[in-house]
Amino acid sequence: MGSSEGKSEGGEWPRPVVPRIGARLSYALHRVLAANALYRRLGAWVERRRPVYRWFTGAERVIKEQLYGCRMCGQCALPDTGYTCPMTCPKQLRNGPCGGVGADGRCEVHPELVCVWVTAIERAEEAGHGADLDLLQRPVDHREWGRSSWVNYWQGRDEGLGVAPGGDSPRSLVRRELGLSPR
């Protein structure tokens, strides 16, 4: 992608999306799709065939866009964010909220909507995965936009996407912004 990385086809910046599917069901589905030798071979097979890869990527786009507002960054953070897409943050922040999130959890850019990081922590903690938000996500590799994150994940390219931080984590930032005690 060029200078319009992250914008919609209409040239607009994203809006926070509340997933249409619960976090617990998402974690369960992830277990079904968890990387293993079979999926790795399937991913490699799909990647070698351009028409199949295009079809597969298109199917992923439709499914994840409907469920999570996925924008096809190609390096999926969903398993670490309570299955809330950080790329629907208008600022596309992958490591917690900006300083503009309201004390009531509202987005600074779209005050009528809830900050994706507030949604993320609520969903992750409700499903018993709050500690996932203690990880920091490495920067997006913009060359991967539009590519299949499922194939990338099965091929092991997402390894190290989330790393333990030395300082503030997304979870600690959300809790601080909302005036909640640290965990």
Instruction: Let me know: does 76 contact 162? Beta carbons within 8 Å.
Output: no
Nearest to 121 by CA among 65, 182, 72: 182
Interaction pattern, residues 106-145, with ligand SF4; x per rule: CB under 6 A: ----------------------------------------
Query: Between 78 and 121, whose beta carbon lies closer to ligand SF4?
Result: 78
Give dist(CA 77, CA 140) in Å, integer: 10
For tokens 């490591």, the residue is: 95
Check binding of 67 to ligand SF4 (CB under 6 A): no
The sign of the CA dihedral 5, 77, 29, 118 is negative
Shortest approach of ligand SF4 to residue 87 CB, angstroms?
A: 4
Check binding of 174 to ligand SF4 (CB under 6 A): no
For tokens 């866009």, the residue is: 65
Query: Between 80 and 177, whose beta carbon lies closer to ligand SF4?
Result: 80
Residues touching ligand SF4: how many (CB under 6 A)? Answer: 13
Which region, judged by CB under 6 A, interacts with ligand SF4, from 65-73, 96-104, 128-136, 160-168?
65-73
- Cβ-Cβ contacts under 8 Å for 98 (sequence gap 6 or more): 91, 108
Check binding of 64 to ligand SF4 (CB under 6 A): yes
Q: Which of 23, 73, 118, 133 binds ligand SF4 (CB under 6 A)?
A: 73
Check binding of 150 to ligand SF4 (CB under 6 A): no
Report the Cα 65 to chain-centroid distance in Å: 11
Q: Which of 17, 23, 46, 85 binds ligand SF4 (CB under 6 A)?
A: 85
Query: Between 73 and 127, whose beta carbon lies closer to ligand SF4?
Result: 73
Check binding of 71 to ligand SF4 (CB under 6 A): yes
Give the C-alpha distances (Å, rounded to integers) separating 134 from 85, 164, 183.
Answer: 16, 7, 10
